Structure 1
Amino acid sequence: MEDEIELIMDEAKEAMAKALKHLEKELVNIRAGKASPSMVGSVMVDYYGSQTPLSQVANVTTPDGMTISIQPWEKGMIPEIEKGIHQANIGFNPMNNGESVIISVPPLTEERRRDLAKQAKAAAEESKIGIRNDRKNANNELKNLEISEDLKKNLEADIQEMTDLHIKKIDEIFAKKEKEIMTV
């Protein structure tokens, strides 16, 4: 019985931690005004007939806060990289100098910043919903166990405490990202 309870608690904790990790991944893709290699992380390039992530065919760097530089390992890949950036539809216009592909990241407008903040808030809300669902699943599993009502109540309180802690972390992560987005 003790093992089952521990398993339920561990599964809930793991699921909630995954929701946090997922949120962090989602927020990395929302740009905050300065150039970052992760902005082109979703770009796929046709590499000899197979779709390959950009990071596997080129070195992606940010020489300054407004530029992304993509140095392909094979010069013949430059047109494919440009094509991949256009197809990814991430809103950038790549230029090449014969050696590498350069992307100038335009500064964000106030309206765009608000849109990105809303997008980040939506991602945070989805993570909160996921964590609440994890709590519900754990509580349902506890209800099916043959244990005393007092123990059930104590375990449900522990699960609620875990839920509150993870939701607080989500709020902190979102607040940090929102500040980053809204800072000019």
Structure 2
Amino acid sequence: MAGRTVVLIDGENIDATLGSSLFGRRPHPEERPRWERVTEYLEAHWHQPVLGLFFLNASSGVLPAQFVQALLAMKYRPIPLSGRDDEKVVDIGIQRTMDTLLDRDDDVVLLSHDGDFAPHLERLAHGERRVAVVALREFLSTQIAQLGVELLDLEDDVRAFNAPLPRVRIIQLDDFDPAAVLR
């Protein structure tokens, strides 16, 4: 077992999923995940220290200083990447990090719904390390969902939000509470 969990956050993807799939607009700050809850949850879940890497697209040449300060205060390591307009800098940065992790013993958790990471996750999952994906399950790429890695729901498992999200999802019959839908 590894002695550390490396958390790779594709914040653009999480934000885009919340905005386009749930809210139909850019999420307000209070509708975004409480990022400190992610690392706290994962530290308790796998009983080891967590290194949180938050990938940012800084191709505009502007660094979101307030957000970077907030990430640092939550003990995340911001990774502001810049590149050409035709490059998905956040995806490429996360993929390169995943490739580097192949030669290390760290456990790995990805926060993204993006199927572009499936081949990298699959390679990481071969071996002794633990690999998980944190996402909103109903928006997760089927390529990732079929890998057999641990899947954790950002709202239900991690409890990263302050208020319930307006989600429609499959309910296990044993968990169905008719009183809840009759409110």
TM-score range, shorter chain: under 0.3
TM-score, L = length of structure 2: 0.21
> Rg bigger for which structure?
1
TM-score, L = length of structure 1: 0.21
Higher helix share: 1
